[in-house]
Structure 1
Amino acid sequence: MRRKHVKRFSKAFSTVLLVALVAIALIGCTSTAKVEATPEIVVPVAPAKETPAPAPAPAPVPEPAPAPEPAPVPEPAPAPVVAPAPEPVLEPVPAPVAEPEIVYPLGVKPIVKNTQGDSLFDLFVVHTNDVHARIVPADGGMGYSKLATMLKVARSITNNILLLDAGDVTHGTNLANMFEGETAGVLLDMLGYDAVAPGNHDYNYGSERLIEAAKLASQYSNLKVLCANVLDANGNLVFQPYQIYDYNGFKVCVIGLTTPDTKTKAHPKATVGLTFDDPIIYQNAQAAIDLAHEYADYVIVLGHIGLDPDADSGITSELICQNVNGIDLFVDGHSHTTLEEGKTVNGTLIVQTGDYLKNVGVVDLVVKNKEVIGAYPMLIAASDVLDPANSDLAKSVGITEVPNDPEVDAYIDYMTTKLSEKLNVVVAEVPTFLDGERANVRTKKTNLSELISKAMTEATGADFTINNGGNIRKSIAAGKVTLGNINDVLPFTNTIVVCEITGQAVYDALEYGYRMLPGTNGGFPQTDLQVVYSKYSPAGSRIKRVLLNGQLLDKNATYKVATNDFLAAGGDGYTMFGKVLQEGKLLNEVFADYLALHFPVK
């Protein structure tokens, strides 16, 4: 069962599809629509005009006839003898022959999504990735409430929708983190997601929490957590590896994958006992895809893999597609890549939406007689959804507003209230004032910045930390410290990362960060290294010595530095950090854990 050649979509078609699928555009399509019953048309018929017939001529009057003689009375006839009817002979009716039930590997049961029996229809694969718990528009994307509205309208038009998420969805903001991802998981269920592939950040609460969440989702919802390459210490699959979806007899196999670099991208403690290098990604991959085609008409890999070969494994979605034939569609995540029209590699269409719900992806699959005869990818931008009044696309179809979904809003409001309660929880007690004043953290070390640096180094096992002073936004008074206090100090959703860096690059980074002294600078480097410098020397030659644990830093050596994802990506102009080795929790989580451990409540 193989696919037809995948065609590129046109801009005109994408506009029509946007109108057809989501709230800014839903008008349906000719091959897939829920058709309302057509009222019977009654045509009134006028009665025919009757033409009066001519009056008949009078008949002649006959002469009276003589009365007849009475007839003789006959003898009564004998009663007829009726032969008995023969008993009917019943021919045996053969019993209907039931089609043999297909037994799928590992006992997976197909999920039937549409039984109308159409031979020609559109199947819409709607996809997201790397949402990182950006639940509301204030987090930088369209938010789940408006997406829920669009999906409800879409489902009122067609049942042929497959909703997928390519991972890194449950961690990234306080509204999710404070509840160990529960908020995001419930929202995935409320929006009717069919499947999600876990990303490396979905392990931030520990593998036990993720595995338990996957079991609960399978037991109490229609959401499947799919991953075919994560094994436990005994070599057993940890998650369901695939799922079959049936649309009018057209079977779609969705296979989940998680980047092997999760072992280093997530905190090592989060994946103890697990391996991510199942041979399905390597030597057995082709056999696995060939087997999938024996049971399905179309094969989708839902992978948190990415397009950037920036880690030890070097595995990318493009590399997989180059070396494995028969993957029809690769719904990708992890690299935060925005592919407006997808990317075709070895006949496989790769799609990815960027991040944070800034876009929602749609692939329109045109299916005819159980074969895909066209595949048309597109992105729906958050700007078109949040501000349709100023969107040329929305204005072209007369849409001025995409309303929120009241059920989703009610749930988010409920969890926001619970979050407020959590932020009032006391987690530590400090003996002295911790200085986070703006003018200070942007020009020098303070006791607060030193504690944050120590927390980052301790949490990651890095050699040292370099953080930016502009990341610290408030001081902490002596006494009891709540989670809300810590959130005020570190309000951004920056995560902790560990990068490679050379000794020379450390000197370069510090020279760059100290260049504006004595002026304030949000990029001023806060570090637990000992830095000897002169603010009176010319910029570029102010750093005299850098010491690590009292020893001079070796400019030729390579170190592990803890920082935040903003600086690691070049934020504030820092281009000195090397390859990312590890990704972890939010900085405010890390600092809260540190204070609770070292300054417990008395």
Structure 2
Amino acid sequence: MKKFIYILLTIFLLGCSQITSFKSEKNNDENNAYDLAIISTGNGKGSLEEGVGYPRIYTIIKRAKGMYGENNVLYLDSGGNFSGTTIANRTKGSSSVAVLNGVGLKATTVGEGDFKYGLKGLTNLQEKSNFKIIGTNIRENDKSSFLTHYLIEEIGDKKIGIIGLISPEFYKDLNGEDIEKISIEDPIVSASLIVKELKKEKVDFIIALSSLGNDERTNKEWTSGELAKSVNGIDLIIDSGKNKVTSFQIKKTLIISSKEQLRSVGIVQVDLDSRLKNENLNYKLIKTEDIYRPKENRKYKVKKGDTLYSLAKNNNIKLEELIKANPEITDGRTIEIGREYNIPISNENLSVYNKNNKLLNIEEDKNIKAIIEKINKKRI
């Protein structure tokens, strides 16, 4: 078991009496360590390397597995990934599927733009996927099934139930022929029924992947907030819809959402043994701007007392590298107070830079980079 530092989640009040502040009261006792990590994204819109990017998301996943164990990490997505970029549209979503397979996505749901290629296109994507596309409130009128209605994962001796809910407003994205084939049922009614079914299956923790959204642009009858308010038993809602805030809590349900186009990644720590639902979760959001992105050089303004030697030593670079990056140092030793000089970035001085600027060093995974490069070359 591992020790974790307090994380206090700032909650944005939406003017609703059912919304309460969410925080963790976990202490540093070894017996109260979290035993599950959920990595979450949503509404990627076909992005691969934009924002945080999948090569870095996979690094986050691998680090989490190193902390919690290989089987104690779930990567979940709340939909909206198969269209939106040139490569996604050209490959009809296959580019996104290839990368999501590579990073080990467990499940997603149907989000904005995912009906772009019709039901046949979505079925083809599911057949190519190593992950499940969950449509709890989608029913096939001919009684056939092309999407999973729910998923149960076992973490140790605990059962995790995963459902996927989409808005009936997505009917507008379907063509006439497809509209006759499926029914998109009321998400709150469907969720209520499936939660009861999962409880009969002795599920300990229920997650809803939702593309319902939660702001004034969303149908008020079908929001993640209404879902949490109306259906007891859902512990976590991961939402990819329209949201003004990235996290809030209604009753005992935490609702989170990531920024679109991979501009942020959510991390939820879960204590599956806790009976206090308000105190068994920690949530953190890693945004694009939190991550250090290497450049050839960075700028440093010389202060009194600085020397060429001290700049090289303090930044873990060789003196000749510093001089090479600053050709204006013609005599090889003179620097002027108040003037900006280039400091070359290297692996050796990266940790120093991150410590001073409070940025996260999350390198891009080479294997996922290779998958993306292959996609771009072959245009699959």
| CA distance, structure 1, for counterparts of residue 350 and residue 9 of structure 2 | 19
Distance 2:102 2:187 in 1: 32
**Which structure has the greater CA radius of gyration?**
1
Inter-CA distance 229–123: structure 2 relative to 1 (3 Å threshold) = same
Q: Partner of 2:118 in structure 1?
A: 206
Deviations 1:317-336 (Å, cap 9, x if unpaired)?
A: 11111111111111111215
Aligned partner of 1:289 in structure 2 is: 195
Correspondent of 2:93 among 181, 197, 210: 181
Q: CA deviation at 1:233?
A: 2.5
Matched, 1:365 2:270: yes
Question: Residues 136 and 144 of structure 1 are in contact (CA less than 8 Å); yes or no, is this contact kept in structure 2?
Answer: yes
CA distance in 1: counterparts of 2:230 and 2:266, whole angstroms: 25
Equivalent residues, number: 300
For 2:216 and 2:145, the matched residues in 1 are separated by 26
1:384 match: 290
1:142 offset after TM fit, Å? Answer: 1.4
Report the equivalent of 2:205: 298
Asked whether 1:151 is paired with 2:61, we answer yes
Task: Using the TM superposition, give the Cα deviation of residue 313 of structure 1 relative to its aligned residue in structure 2, in angstroms.
Answer: 7.7
Per-residue deviation at 1:231? 1.7
Give the equivalent residue in structure 2 for 1:410.
370
Confirm or deny that 1:126 pairs with 2:39. yes
- Counting only pairs closer than 5 Å after superposition, residues 428-467 of structure 1 correspond to structure 2 as none
Q: Deviation string for 1:199-250 (max 9, x for gaps)? A: 1311111111112221332xxx2x1111111122325543111111111111
CA spacing shift, 1:404–1:332, aligned 2, 3 Å: same
Counterpart secondary structure, 1:203: coil
Q: 1:263 to 1:387 in 2, by over 3 A?
A: same
- From 148, 154, 158, give the equivalent of 1:246: 154
Q: Secondary structure at the match of 1:246?
A: strand
3-state DSSP class of the match of 1:132? coil
Correspondence for 1:10 among 8, 14, 19: 8
In the alignment, what sits opposite 2:82? 170
Contact 1:300-1:327 within 8 A present in 2 as well: yes
Superposed CA offset, 1:147-173 (max 9, x none): 122222222232221110000011111
Which consecutive unaligned segments of at least 5 residues does structure 2 have?
Answer: 1-5, 11-27, 295-348
Which structure would you say has the larger RCO, counting Cα contacts within 8 Å and 6 or more residues apart?
2
CA distance in 2, matches of 1:393, 1:163: 30
Residue identity over aligned pairs, in percent, reads 23
* In the alignment, structure 1 residue 374 sits paired with structure 2 residue 280: yes
Deviation at 1:418, TM superposition (A): 2.6
| Aligned residue identity for 2:205 | Y
For 2:175 and 2:352, locate their aligned partners in 1 and report how far apart those are by CA, in whole Å.
Answer: 47
Letter in 1 for 2:55: S
In the alignment, residue 150 of structure 1 is paired with which amino acid?
I
- Matching of residue 334 in structure 1 with residue 241 in structure 2: yes
What RMSD, in angstroms, separates the aligned Cα atoms of the two structures?
A: 3.2
Relative to structure 1, the CA distance from residue 297 to residue 181 in structure 2 (aligned partners, 3 Å threshold; closer, same or farther) is same
Please name the residue that 1:259 is paired with: 167
Mapping of 1:267-286 within 5 angstroms?
A: 267-269=174-176, 271-278=178-185, 281-282=188-189, 285-286=191-192
Cα distance in 1 for partners of 2:360, 2:270 equals 29
SS in 2 for 1:193: coil
Taking the aligned partners of 1:199 and 1:361, their CA distance within structure 2 comes to: 17
Q: Distance in 2 between matches of 1:400 and 1:328?
A: 29
Structure 1 residues 168 and 144, CA gap change in structure 2 (3 angstroms): same
Aligned residue identity for 2:376: T
Q: Which residue of 1 aligns with 2:261?
A: 356
* Alpha-carbon distance in structure 1 between the residues aligned to 2:161 and 2:117: 29
* Alpha-carbon spacing, 1:409–1:280, altered in 2? closer, same or farther (3 Å): closer
CA separation of 1:180 and 1:259: change in aligned 2, threshold 3 A: same
Task: List aligned pairs for 1:47-58, cutoff 5 A.
Answer: none
- In the alignment, structure 1 segments of 5+ residues that lack a partner are 1-7, 13-28, 33-118, 423-602
TM-score by length of 1: 0.46
